[in-house]
Structure 1
């Protein structure tokens, strides 16, 4: 008898939803990259999380938003890392607010890894984790974040990992079938139309449904053909892949109505 294959369902817009479905329990890791979007956008993400951990200099970035006086203060539960990036002024700011600052000098793990390991050790699993600022800055730093995504997402038993930048959301599709809700908007913030399906680790064969340029049993690899700048056509996009691939979709910001 043929076995019914499981399909993994994704709701990437839940990160900034008013009523999240899949991200009702999620944790935040704030990385040391500029937080370039409106404070109200980050406030939404903060509200949808049960734990917020700054990886070293990420504490500087949250401090900058809080002292911009453009909205309510964003809170932190912990600052962790080798603490070579957080400034003395910011250290005092968070200590005065009662936030624990943990020095971890382990040179074999990055501040990002230290933050994720803390969340996994202290919070019940499965728990989705959203890393904010994951793909900004230097090329080597961006590649390091993608490398970490592969390291952390061995399977989905601990939860799903997301990289959220000022441009889009990126996550890892393990080999198998995936169903992604690719059209959603909440109060002027939504998912855009541009997507990429990128085989960073090894060649894969993919089949897609719901994109402008769908493919069937399509080989994809670096140095060969890869699917970038494809367009969302349907509300739900289905992807079947023989190996792990990155899925990335951009953000869309609608003009806010006045008055």
Structure 2
């Protein structure tokens, strides 16, 4: 039976029988295998210092290099990416020459059968799983190297992506579609989109804990941060730790969707679902 439970503005939940733990705010202090990808959208209103300093691999997807170059200003030497990858139809010659002189490795990938975002994700998977990235064919060399991952036990990677869900609506939907595909093919790659307003990520079917130390770690407002649970396909959701918790709640894009809910638990949120969900949390 479906049920909706309204909670006080602050509660503590019991964390039991969790099958998957997701820590979307770990970039505040991440010592694991972690990456930051900068896409070709404005980052001028995002403070990237903390996430840059707490990630070990830095990638610009084509025109994302222009955005980083502009962001850095007279301190751009503090933000030198390890790689620039893509079809390179957006990056300017000035930016390309600057980063090349600073030691950035530039990897042209001219194929139009993958987005620059997906080319970046391939690079991340190859890099952290020990596949040597040298003499890469400029058309689709990264895609070909991905075949080498079939025989490997893939490591856990925290992948943070600046923006990617702003700009054109079709590009935002495509990005969501791609993290869904990546989650199914490479579940050890944990992707988190970081925008000016919120953080967006995917949780797999099962009983998931969205973990954090304190709400104040990621939200400075007076009430509670907004959360949305967006289904890819019809699913049944139960939650613990939201302002309006649900039990056995049927959700779909042509039915009910839990948007504008709130996080009230001080020690994490549990989401149980029988299909993958996209989650957005207000920063």
Confirm or deny a common fold (TM above 0.5). Answer: yes
CA shift, 1:100, in A, is 1.4
Which of 1 and 2 has greater Rg?
2
Q: Which of structures 1 and 2 has the larger relative contact order (alpha carbons within 8 angstroms, sep 6+)?
A: 2
CA distance in 1, matches of 2:116, 2:199: 21
Residues 1:172 and 2:192 aligned together: no
Q: CA RMSD in A?
A: 2.1
Q: Equivalents in 1 of 2:219, 2:98: separation in Å?
A: 31
Residue in structure 2 matched with residue 12 of structure 1 by the alignment: 24
Structure 2 residue runs of 5 or longer lacking an equivalent are 1-15, 130-154
Answer whether contact 1:155 1:174 (CA < 8 A) is retained.
Answer: no
Residues of 2 paired with 1:178 and 1:130: CA distance? 19
1:99 is matched with which residue: 104, 109, 132? 104
Give, in angstroms, the shift of residue 250 of structure 1: 1.0
**One of 119, 125, 136 as aligned partner of 1:120:** 125
Q: CA deviation at 1:156?
A: 6.1
Match of 1:153 among 183, 199, 208: 183
Which residue is 1:241 aligned to?
Answer: 273
Structure 1 residue ranges without an equivalent (≥5): 252-259
Using the size of structure 2 for normalisation, the TM-score is: 0.79
What residue number does 1:29 align with?
37
Which string of whole-angstrom CA distances, capped at 9 and with x for unpartnered residues, describes residues 85-130 of structure 1?
Answer: 1111111111121211111111111101111101111213221111
How far apart are residue 189 of structure 1 and its match? 6.3
2: CA distance, partners of 1:88 / 1:72: 17
Identify which of 217, 224, 248 aligns with 2:248: 217
CA distance in structure 2 between the partners assigned to 1:207 and 1:7 by the alignment: 14
What secondary structure is seen at the aligned counterpart in 2 of 1:234? coil
Cα distance change, pair 156–241 in 1 and its aligned pair in 2 (3 A): farther
TM-score norm. by structure 1 comes to 0.86
Q: What residue number does 2:237 align with?
A: 206
Deviates more, 1:88-97 or 1:152-161: 152-161
How many pairs are equivalent? Answer: 239
Match of 2:167 in 1: 137
Structure 2 partner of 1:61: 67
SS of match in other structure, 1:12 = coil
Give every structure 1 segment of 4 or more consecutive aligned residues whose post-TM-superposition deviation is greater than 4 Å: 188-192
Q: Say which is worse superposed, 214-223 or 124-133, in terms of deviation.
A: 124-133
